[in-house]
């Protein structure tokens, strides 16, 4: 048994180091914590988690050969493609992320830390919501303009992005100063809730899966707060993914058939002109539809890296999908290895026979793909959550069948 001081230290490391690490990319305010350089916090995380691993447990991910194989294939192909392109930045980044999963993430692969994660996300969402409504009534946040804030580095995404000027009251909420008009209204008709992100999509990529995780652990109060935040953050995309997840929940018995039907409908939508019929006066709706139509008219893609990646037509459409981006840049084989990771992710979920976990897997894959990052620390954290529930189910099954 670990003493209380040890458990408190471990919890503090989760809150102060691990949580900001997995929020990398999605909740931009947390980047301030490590001067917008993820290497600082990653090295700090590595030091502490290797210490925990020395004291604690086995490497659960290393024991599973299927996990080792899928990530090894992904990295080997990335190495080949990086050599072809003559650039290794992405390879180094994803190697570090995957190393973190295989050797470090399972330090916190326990339900109490997943519940702690839900509580942290809820706390910051609730805090941001209070500020959001206060500053809607009294528009003082515009005295917290990014240019006037001392904790932001020059390469912070809040500084470098050109589509919005930001105000960040007390470093706890993000307002887009220059666009609070009709194009940035939520489903509730209010200005979209950016939370702690540079855009609502990135914020929703955290909140939507966390709602389902909260429901899975029966944390209904947290789920309600997060759902309200999602209502304010989302315009359309998040709720479309939520509806898809709900369909799989209701028709769980026919889940495999649903997968096939949705794939067929996706391609039928183009051949029947359905997507074109959705074009409207809404700039946001048209942005998504035109991006989708562009995917059907892309130039042929090679098996390996495309050295003309930057010059491909319709390259802007890649920003709405990490799968499309990785396919365009690194080729079909890299995309196949990427999908193989998703396949194993879903496979672990199906093994648990849990409706909510299946919904969580599908929704998290859809919304994280839309956010643009291929294998982010957040996705790998979600992967560790699914794998932990798979292990719990497997151990429970073994006990029932007398195998342990």
User: What is the arithmetic mean of pLDDT over 179-196?
Assistant: 72
| Nearest Cα residue to 26 out of 144, 124, 141, 145 | 124
Taking the CA atoms of 281, 282, 284 and 290 in sequence, report the sign of the dihedral they define: negative
Q: What is the pLDDT of residue 326?
A: 84
DSSP 154-181: TT-HHHH-SS--EE-GGGT--EETT--S
- Total-model pTM: 0.89
361-373 pLDDT tens trace: 999 998 988 776 7
Higher pLDDT, 302 or 124: 124
Phi, psi of 24 (to 5 degrees): -50, 130
For the chain, give the mean pLDDT. Answer: 84
In percent, the amount of the chain with pLDDT more than 90 equals 34
User: What is the arithmetic mean of pLDDT over 187-195?
Assistant: 82
| Residues 6+ positions from 263 with CB-CB distance below 8 Å | none
237-256 pLDDT tens trace: 788 888 889 899 998 888 88
Q: What is the pLDDT of residue 300?
A: 65
- Which residue, chain included where needed, has tokens 């315009």? 235
Angstrom CA distances, 256 to 252, 341, 404, stand at 9, 18, 31
Q: Residue 187: is it exposed, middle or buried by C-beta count within 10 angstroms (0-12/13-18/19+)?
A: middle
Q: Is residue 304 helix, strand or coil? A: coil
User: What is the arithmetic mean of pLDDT over 273-281?
Assistant: 72
Residue 285 — pLDDT band, cuts 50, 70, 90? low
Residue pair 32/156 in contact (Cβ under 8 Å)? The answer is: yes
Cα angle, residue 402 at apex, residues 401 and 403 outer, rounded to 5°: 95
Neighbours of 91 (CB within 10 A): 17
**How far is it, in rounded angstroms, from Cα 291 to Cα 266?**
14
DSSP alpha helices (H): ranges in 23-166?
38-55, 60-63, 65-85, 89-103, 111-137, 157-160
| Residues 6+ positions from 102 with CB-CB distance below 8 Å | 59, 61, 62, 67, 68, 71
Phi, psi of 156 (to 5 degrees): -60, 145
In percent, the amount of the chain with pLDDT more than 70 equals 86
């Amino acid at each position: 048994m670990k003493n209380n001081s040890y458990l408190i230290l471990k919890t503090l490391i989760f809150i102060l180091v691990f949580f900001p690490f997995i929020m990398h990319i999605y909740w931009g305010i947390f980047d301030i914590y490590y001067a917008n350089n993820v290497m600082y916090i990653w090295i700090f995380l590595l030091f502490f988690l290797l210490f925990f691993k020395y004291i604690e447990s086995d490497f659960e991910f290393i024991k599973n050969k299927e996990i080792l194989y899928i990530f090894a294939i992904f990295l080997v192909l990335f190495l080949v493609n990086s050599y072809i392109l003559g650039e290794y930045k992405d390879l180094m980044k994803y190697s570090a992320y995957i190393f973190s999963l295989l050797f470090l993430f399972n330090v916190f692969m326990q339900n109490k830390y997943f519940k702690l994660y839900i509580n942290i996300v809820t706390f910051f969402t609730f805090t941001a919501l209070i500020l959001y409504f206060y500053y809607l009534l009294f528009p003082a946040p515009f005295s917290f303009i990014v240019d006037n804030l001392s904790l932001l580095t020059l390469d912070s995404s809040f500084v470098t992005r050109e589509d919005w000027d930001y105000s960040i009251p007390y470093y706890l909420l993000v307002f887009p100063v220059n666009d609070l008009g009709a194009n940035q209204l939520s489903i509730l008709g209010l200005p979209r809730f950016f939370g702690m992100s540079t855009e609502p999509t990135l914020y929703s990529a955290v909140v939507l899966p966390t709602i389902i995780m909260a429901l899975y652990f029966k944390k209904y109060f947290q789920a309600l707060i997060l759902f309200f935040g999602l209502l304010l953050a989302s315009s359309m995309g998040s709720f479309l993914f939520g509806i898809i997840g709900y369909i799989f929940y209701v028709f769980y018995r026919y889940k495999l058939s649903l997968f096939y039907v949705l794939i067929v409908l996706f391609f039928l939508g183009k051949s029947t002109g359905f997507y074109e019929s959705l074009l409207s006066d809404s700039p946001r709706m048209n942005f998504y539809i035109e991006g989708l139509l562009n995917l059907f008219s892309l130039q042929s893609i090679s098996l390996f890296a495309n050295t003309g990646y930057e010059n491909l037509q319709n390259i802007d459409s890649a920003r709405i999908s990490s799968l499309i981006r990785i396919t365009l840049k690194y080729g079909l084989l890299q995309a196949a290895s990427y999908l193989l990771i998703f396949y194993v992710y879903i496979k672990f979920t199906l093994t648990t026979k849990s409706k909510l976990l299946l919904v969580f897997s599908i929704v998290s894959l859809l919304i994280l793909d839309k956010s643009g990052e291929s294998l982010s620390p957040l996705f790998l954290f979600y992967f560790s959550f699914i794998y932990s529930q798979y292990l719990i189910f497997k151990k429970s099954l073994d006990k029932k069948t007398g195998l342990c």
